[in-house]
Amino acid sequence: MPSKTPRVVVTRKLPDRIETRLRELFDARLNRDDRPFTADELAEAMAQADVLVPTVTDRISAAVIAAAGPRLRLIASFGTGVDHIDLDAAKARGILVANTPGVLTEDTADTTMALILATMRRLTAGERLVRAGEWEGWSPTSMLGHRPGGKKLAILGMGRIGTAVARRARAFGMSIHYHNRRRLPPEREAEIGATWWESLDQMLGQADVLSINCPHTPATFHLLSARRLALLRPHAFLVNTARGEVVDEAALIRALERRELAGAGLDVYAREPEIDRRLLALDSVVCLPHMGSATLEGRIAMGERVLINIRAFVDGHAVPDRVVITGF
Ligand code: 8YV
């Protein structure tokens, strides 16, 4: 890192408090109007920055990394998922990558639980009915959903967020099942009250609700393939607050349209910010705009992690949230 104040380019608008601190500490180039960078703007940022602070909306591909200037030594991403960054290409260029894990766990788990409730209890369908002026009053058989209590919640990916979802779902009386690349130690399983399924396929066949909480990696791309989606029973619900790429979205839409699945709660999509119109046409689907971790408290905490990671790097210390490449 050069001895002069490092230039930090931030690709999106961050909370004021974080931007103020970035300006105090570094030669910070901020994005005042929050318009996502074009490919040219991103290339220019990569050429000029010592540190780049991207978000999930920036594609830091191998080609983009190849065009980075010699000054770029750290990509301090604002977010936990790092699937928008080609980690191998960064490593090959000697560029360190950091993220912001841990600080958005509870917010994302809250959104996941909200989507489980919204889909099973048809909350957004009810709200649409009221807003359309079509509610004709109470009836014993109208707006019937399903009770989460007593149902099996299958969690794909029992990391921090999966565990936080399990804690919430247990309070709603759901039994917890999970599939993970590694089984948790017995004491952790007992604490969470979770049953491990070595076979994802077998777990899917038993689930009432499937919650996707694993990262998107080459190993999890379309993990929920057409074949696996077909293992879910017709009364099952699917909730995804992780990444759209983990599910074969076209196959999911087909299953929902044919009522081979009861419903889906989605916060993430295959081609964000585009949402397939067929999803929006289905009453059994709740669509959110990738807002799983969108709380002011969470965004400030993410910004603090970014500041700490950059500061540690600049001062020559180990970067606390350095991303280490692992499989799922
Ligand atoms: C973040 C997310 O808001 O952190 C993640 O992986 O998906 C989101 O909740 C987003 O990534 C910010 O870059």
Tell me the CATH number at 33: 3.40.50.720
Residue 163 CB less than 6 A away from ligand 1: no
Ligand 1 centroid to Cα of residue 80, in Å, is: 6
Whether residue 132 sits in one domain with residue 35:
no
Nearest CA to ligand 1 atom 7: 81
Answer yes or no: are the C-beta atoms of 208 and 151 closer than 8 Å. Answer: yes
- The mean pLDDT value of the chain amounts to 96
pLDDT of residue 325: 72
Residue 313 has pLDDT above 90, yes or no: yes
Residue 269 CB less than 6 A away from ligand 1: no
Whether residue 299 sits in one domain with residue 266:
no
CA quadruple 187, 191, 195, 199: dihedral, nearest 10 = -60
- Strand (E) or helix (H) holding 253: helix 249-257
pLDDT, one tens digit per residue, over 36-51 is 999 999 999 999 999 9
Whether residue 181 sits in one domain with residue 139:
yes
Whether residue 22 sits in one domain with residue 136:
no
Residue 328 has pLDDT above 70, yes or no: no
- Residue 155, in any domain of the structure: yes
Residue 78 CB less than 6 A away from ligand 1: yes
Residue 303 CB less than 6 A away from ligand 1: no
Taking residues 89-95, what's their average pLDDT? 96
Residues catalogued as catalytic = 243, 272, 290
The amino acid at residue 39 is A
- Residue 320, in any domain of the structure: no
pLDDT of residue 3: 55
- Residue 149, in any domain of the structure: yes
User: The whole model's pTM is what?
Assistant: 0.96
CA quadruple 201, 204, 206, 211: dihedral, nearest 10 = 150
Could you tell me the pLDDT band of residue 326, with boundaries at 50, 70 and 90?
low
Whether residue 273 sits in one domain with residue 224:
yes
Of all residues in the chain, what percent carry a pLDDT higher than 70?
A: 98
Residue 156 has pLDDT above 90, yes or no: yes
Answer yes or no: are the C-beta atoms of 270 and 244 closer than 8 Å. Answer: yes
Handedness of CA 75, 81, 84, 90 (dihedral sign): positive
Residue 327 has pLDDT above 80, yes or no: no
Whether residue 111 sits in one domain with residue 26:
no
Distance of CA 146 to the CA centre of its chain: 26
Ligand 1 centroid to Cα of residue 258, in Å, is: 32
- Residue 321, in any domain of the structure: no
Q: Which domain holds residue 27?
A: 7-103+295-314
